[in-house]
Amino acid sequence: MTMCNTRTNLYKEAFRLVKVYYRETFRIFDVQIPLSVKVGEANFYSQSIIQFEPKSKVAAAYQELAKELMESGC
């Protein structure tokens, strides 16, 4: 899940429904990429979020997603 605002009830319910209805069809990763304007800024400057703001929560989340992908063999 990307662009997640995990504080809202709408997001929590949407994520729950995705897990319920799509877990058998798609791989649902544990990492949730938070919503951040930094991603748009990085795109504007033609940089990855890891280059643009390496210590941000979004950069950390994408690094965790990469680890999860490698560990799962995807």
Q: Has residue 4 been placed in a domain?
A: no
Q: Has residue 26 been placed in a domain?
A: yes
Q: How far apart are CA 44 and CA 30, in angstroms?
A: 28
Q: Has residue 64 been placed in a domain?
A: yes
Q: Has residue 44 been placed in a domain?
A: yes
Give the pLDDT score at 74: 65
The CA distances from residue 10 to 4, 34, 63, in Å, are 10, 14, 26
Model confidence pLDDT, tens digit, residues 15-56: 999 999 998 998 889 899 999 999 999 999 999 999 999 999
pTM beyond 0.95, yes or no? no
Q: Has residue 25 been placed in a domain?
A: yes
Number of domains, the chain: 1
Q: Has residue 1 been placed in a domain?
A: no
Give the pLDDT score at 72: 85
Quickly state the pLDDT bin for 1 (edges 50, 70, 90): confident
Q: How far apart are CA 43 and CA 58, in angstroms?
A: 13
Q: Has residue 56 been placed in a domain?
A: yes
